[in-house]
A and B are shown apart, each in its own frame.
Chain A
Amino acid sequence: MSLIRLQNISRLYQMGGETIHALRSISLVVERGEYVAIMGPSGSGKSTLMNLLGCLDTCTSGVYELNGTNVSDLDDNRLAEIRNREIGFVFQTFNLLPRANALRNVELPLIYSGIGSSERKRIAIEALESVGLADRMRHKPNEMSGGQRQRVAIARALVNSPSIILADEPTGNLDSKTGDEIMALMRLLSDKGNTIFIVTHEEEVARHARRIIRIRDGLIAEDSTSPKIASP
């Protein structure tokens, strides 16, 4: 069974009496453990696709199966459960809670899945250790560098052992050296068997992925698997 199966997905928006086809008809299958980059110019529909994949949004028509569950027509609360269990988000602007320290930020998804405090702490510490931030747990976001913040965000995305990790321009707010470090970390996660999506418009970032899907005008323009970056 494939991890992700999209069938004829379309997404329309009404904007000032005009209908916008953000996605026209997208069909896509992604297997467990794949490392996929989604590329496209702004307005191409890549953000919409990312929101759909992340269950933040629902499609207008079509079927989206995630891990064997049809999630295309679930209500808000069921989608929240799915997001909590199946999806880890990494955002361009990190989106950490400013008043909470690193540990608490990472604990957050576990709180929403109802895990008790000591167990929660243990798992969160483990996640922070895995991104190399064992010594920054009590720091608040404004006491950390951009790279460190993004690592916290990655730890938060990992902490519930989700089926997929969705990273939206994860290096967009970082200098190139720190960006490389983050991409190396993503690579490491992929090697450990995580399924990763990266949305980006930078070729260099996309090259880290094994499969590149290019979106244009709401359609998949190209879907290529690059053999030369296949895992060693």
Chain B
Amino acid sequence: MNFLLEIKEGLLIAWDAIRANKLRSVLTTLGIIIGIVTVTSMATAIDALNRALHDSLSIMGADVLFVDKFNWEIHSEDEWLREFKRPDITREQTRRIEKKMLLASAVAPRADSMRPVWYQNRRANRVNIIGTTDQFLITSGFAMALGRFMSPAEVEGGRPVCVIGNDVATNLFQKEPPLGKKIKIGEHQLTVIGVLEKRGSFLGLDSFDNEVIIPIPQFVFSYWRNPTYSMEVKVREMDHLEDAKEELRGLMRTIRHVAPEDPDNFAINQQQQILKTFDRLTGTIAAVGLVITGMSLFVGGIGIMNIMFVSVAERTREIGVRKAIGAKQRTILLQFLIEAASICLLGGLAGLAITYSLTLLVAGAFPYFPITMSFPVMGLAILTSIATGLTSGFLPAWRAARMNPVDALRNE
């Protein structure tokens, strides 16, 4: 008997059997539906989390090296203490990098501090004040929404000017145009010369647009005498990222007088490194989550196995007749496997429909969370439900296939 014909026949029989026991089929399928809903919801959520992370981190630019006292990945308290004891990065050191580094297209030192910002009687709390140079526009990848960025002369002279982030602009200046206005940070007044383009937020939580950028000398003079500096280095060519990193490392070691046998007393961080850490994290969440949600699918599978055993027992006589008429073991096996797989496939499709609606709901409620159901998840869900059917249907189908026709026919 032709294999395709056998499958077609199996599908017909399966459909008949499912229709003949509607309530039972629905109840059995429920287990699979719940299983598929939990598994696909989990997968979709992790997928969305991943996408959100990558979207957020891509703002940092893959071709920018971040020189800092601390490594972004610190695995233990000891490590943190060790790095805490490192000498600070000084303005002088950053100057020398600016001068000497060949493979960089821009080097921007920066010092950060959290302060409230005032405009007349309006206040924005906890704004990140960044003291930096004109090069920061290049390394950060910000674009201007209004006005202009700081000029080299303004930076050198430590002029009382500032460029404000988009959130700061909307918070302090509701209707007024911000350009030319004076804002107050601490005791000092600064003139707004530019507003940055909006950048969004990290995972919809931590805004990238909540900062005021001022010339470094102004920062040192007004807010922090000896700040801890860090440095953003944009490399000339993405292809030479590793070379640039090596050059930077060599320069830093020379400048900071690190002996050849000693380890670096600074860190060169990259966006990639955070990505890797996050990927490892989401990978773990995914693995654990899928195992846990997979259990509900497993329970659903046991339900299918149970009901298939019942189905085989009920149809013993039918199996006998089919065998007497010429059905081979393979035919009977296939018939019941197809029946189990069909029930699971129906459950899988229903489950997918439910998850899809849930996804739409979440997407509607959190517009900044990039949640969508991906085709791989759908495909995988369908394959998984069929596989569940085949696995849990195998033992009952095998029992049916191996039945002795004489005994099966005698069954009442």
Interfacial residues, chain A to chain B (CB-CB below 8 A): 51, 54, 56-57, 76-77, 80-81, 83-85, 89, 91, 95-97, 99-100, 108-109, 111-114, 116, 156, 160
Is B285 on the interface with A (CB-CB < 8 A)?
A: no
Is B48 on the interface with A (CB-CB < 8 A)?
A: no
In the A-B complex, the 10 residue pairs with the closest CB atoms: A84-B326, A112-B326, A114-B1, A80-B328, A95-B321, A77-B328, A114-B2, A56-B405, A109-B325, A56-B406
A40 vs B393: C-alpha distance when bound (angstroms): 43
Question: Chain B at the A interface: mostly helix, strand, loop or mixed?
Answer: helix
Q: Residues of A contacting B330 with CB < 8 Å?
A: 77
A85 pairs with B16, CB closer than 8 A: no
A111 pairs with B9, CB closer than 8 A: yes
Is B191 on the interface with A (CB-CB < 8 A)?
A: no
Is B324 on the interface with A (CB-CB < 8 A)?
A: yes
B5 pairs with A111, CB closer than 8 A: yes
Q: Residues of A contacting B20 with CB < 8 Å?
A: 99
A112 pairs with B321, CB closer than 8 A: no
Most buried by B among A51, A57, A97, A116: A97
Given A56-B324, A91-B409, A112-B328, 17 more A-B residue pairs with CB atoms under 8 Å apart are A56-B405, A57-B404, A57-B406, A77-B329, A80-B323, A80-B326, A80-B327, A80-B328, A81-B328, A84-B325, A95-B321, A97-B321, A99-B16, A99-B20, A108-B325, A109-B326, A112-B331
Question: Which of A76, A83, A114 sits near B325, CB closer than 8 Å?
Answer: A83
B343 CB to closest chain A CB, in angstroms? Answer: 17
B326 CB to closest chain A CB, in angstroms? Answer: 2
- CB-nearest residue of chain B relative to A166? B324
Q: Residues of B contacting A99 with CB < 8 Å?
A: 16-17, 20
B16 pairs with A83, CB closer than 8 A: no
B327 pairs with A56, CB closer than 8 A: no
A89 pairs with B325, CB closer than 8 A: yes
Q: What would be 14 A-B contacts, judged by CB atoms less than 8 Å apart?
A: A56-B409, A57-B405, A76-B328, A77-B330, A80-B326, A81-B328, A83-B324, A84-B325, A89-B325, A100-B16, A109-B325, A111-B9, A114-B1, A114-B5
A76 vs B405: C-alpha distance when bound (angstroms): 10
A100 vs B405: C-alpha distance when bound (angstroms): 21
Quick one: given A77-B330, A80-B323, A95-B321, are A113 and B405 in contact (CB under 8 Å)? no
A57 vs B325: C-alpha distance when bound (angstroms): 14
Q: Residues of A contacting B331 with CB < 8 Å?
A: 112
- CB-nearest residue of chain A relative to B325? A109
A80 vs B9: C-alpha distance when bound (angstroms): 18
A113 vs B325: C-alpha distance when bound (angstroms): 10
A61 vs B328: C-alpha distance when bound (angstroms): 24
A83 vs B2: C-alpha distance when bound (angstroms): 17
Q: Residues of B contacting A156 with CB < 8 Å?
A: 325
Q: Which residues in window 286-339 of B have CB below 8 A to A?
A: 317-318, 320-331
Quick one: given A84-B326, A112-B331, are A95 and B1 in contact (CB under 8 Å)? no
B321 pairs with A113, CB closer than 8 A: no
> What's the tally of chain B residues with a CB closer than 8 Å to chain A?
25
Interfacial residues, chain B to chain A (CB-CB below 8 A): 1-2, 5, 9, 16-17, 20, 317-318, 320-331, 404-406, 409
B5 pairs with A95, CB closer than 8 A: no
B317 pairs with A95, CB closer than 8 A: yes
Quick one: given A95-B321, A114-B1, are A83 and B406 in contact (CB under 8 Å)? no
Question: Which of A81, A89, A114 sits near B324, CB closer than 8 Å?
Answer: A89
Q: Residues of B contacting A80 with CB < 8 Å?
A: 323, 326-329
- CB-nearest residue of chain B relative to A50? B406
- CB-nearest residue of chain A relative to B408? A56
A81 vs B328: C-alpha distance when bound (angstroms): 7
A108 pairs with B322, CB closer than 8 A: yes
- CB-nearest residue of chain A relative to B20? A99
A112 pairs with B409, CB closer than 8 A: no
Q: Residues of A contacting B322 with CB < 8 Å?
A: 108, 112
Q: Residues of B contacting A112 with CB < 8 Å?
A: 1, 322, 325-328, 331
Q: Residues of B contacting A56 with CB < 8 Å?
A: 323-324, 405-406, 409
Quick one: given A51-B406, A99-B20, are A81 and B326 in contact (CB under 8 Å)? yes
- CB-nearest residue of chain A relative to B402? A76
A193 vs B35: C-alpha distance when bound (angstroms): 60
A50 vs B325: C-alpha distance when bound (angstroms): 15
B314 CB to closest chain A CB, in angstroms? Answer: 11
A191 vs B29: C-alpha distance when bound (angstroms): 54
- CB-nearest residue of chain B relative to A79? B405
B329 pairs with A76, CB closer than 8 A: yes
Most buried by B among A54, A96, A112: A112
- CB-nearest residue of chain A relative to B320? A95
- CB-nearest residue of chain B relative to A86? B326
A162 CB to closest chain B CB, in angstroms? Answer: 10
Q: Residues of A contacting B325 with CB < 8 Å?
A: 83-84, 89, 108-109, 112, 156
B326 pairs with A83, CB closer than 8 A: yes
A80 vs B328: C-alpha distance when bound (angstroms): 6
Q: Residues of B contacting A76 with CB < 8 Å?
A: 328-329
A109 vs B325: C-alpha distance when bound (angstroms): 6
Q: Residues of A contacting B409 with CB < 8 Å?
A: 56, 91, 95
